């Protein structure tokens, strides 16, 4: 990264941020409901993926925390690498999540009483924030690569806790529903 702030770089990416912020959730939602078997494509259900992508969520949370520690210690290069790793882990999660849902039926939560309400509260907030976090991550990243560090820091203060919540609740949702996988 160069050290000169470049607002035109940020501007250049704005349309892509808007496009990706809309396209990613729509594509994930649509593909998660499409079953390959419905198109005559015989494929074994990828039932081994949920614990893997839950682990990826956990790793994402850890990487985000390490990235914050790195930048607080003013290790910008390590921070940058860790953030690229967090983004890559999130992309890997999305690919596996979609692959699982394209080959397997959704699992119904089997808990009753208060735990059911807790589960659905966590699940709904996880899903909503996982959609909202997309433009925040993209804007935060673009502000960093355009060397607009003051604006980067401002939005990162919002992006970090939201992204961390999504990563951690992804693990919690998996742990709560895991007993009901067939």
pLDDT at 9: 73
Q: Which of 144, 180, 138 is nearest to 22 (CA)?
A: 138
Task: Tell me: pLDDT of 163 over 90.
Answer: yes
Rg from Cα positions in the chain? 18
Query: How do residues 89-123 score in pLDDT, each as one tens digit?
Result: 999 999 999 999 999 988 999 999 999 999 999 99
User: For residue 148, what pLDDT band results from cuts at 50, 70 and 90?
Assistant: very high
Task: Tell me: pLDDT of 55 over 90.
Answer: yes
Task: Tell me: pLDDT of 5 over 70.
Answer: no
Query: Which domains are delineated in the chain?
Result: 7-180 (1.20.120.80)
Task: Tell me: pLDDT of 2 over 60.
Answer: no
pLDDT at 54: 97
pLDDT at 10: 80
Query: How do residues 61-91 score in pLDDT, each as one tens digit?
Result: 999 999 999 999 999 999 999 999 999 999 9
Whole-angstrom distance, CA of residue 40 vs CA of residue 34: 12
- Please state at what angle helix 76-103 crosses helix 7-33, rounded to 10 degrees: 20
User: For residue 165, what pLDDT band results from cuts at 50, 70 and 90?
Assistant: very high
In Å, what is the CA distance from 64 to each residue of 9, 58, 131? 25, 10, 18
DSSP the chain: --SS--HHHHHHHHHHHHHHHHHHHHHHHHHHH--GGGGT------TTHHHHHHHHHHHHHHHHHHHHHHHHTT-HHHHHHHHHHHHHHHHHHHHHHHHHHHHSPPPPP---THHHHHHHHHHHHHHHHHHHHHHHHHHHHHHHHTT-HHHHHHHHHHHHHHHHHHHHHHHHHHHHHGGG--
pLDDT at 1: 46
pLDDT at 98: 95
């Amino acid at each position: 990264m160069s050290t000169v702030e470049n607002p035109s770089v940020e501007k250049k990416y704005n349309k892509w941020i808007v496009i990706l912020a809309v396209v990613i959730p729509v594509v994930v939602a649509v593909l998660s409901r499409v079953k390959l078997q419905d198109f005559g494509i015989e494929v074994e259900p990828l039932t081994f993926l949920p614990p893997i992508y839950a682990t990826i969520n956990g790793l994402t949370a850890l990487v985000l925390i390490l990235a914050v520690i790195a930048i607080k210690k003013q290790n910008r290069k390590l921070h940058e690498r860790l953030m690229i790793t967090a983004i890559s882990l999130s992309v890997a999660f999305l690919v596996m999540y979609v692959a699982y849902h394209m080959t397997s039926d959704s699992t119904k939560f089997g808990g009753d009483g208060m735990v059911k309400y807790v589960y659905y509260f966590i699940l709904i907030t996880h899903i909503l924030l996982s959609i909202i976090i997309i433009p925040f991550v993209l804007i935060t990243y673009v502000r960093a690569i355009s060397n607009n560090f003051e604006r980067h820091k401002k939005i990162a203060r919002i992006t970090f806790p939201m992204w961390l919540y999504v990563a951690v609740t992804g693990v919690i949702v998996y742990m709560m529903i895991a007993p009901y996988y067939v």
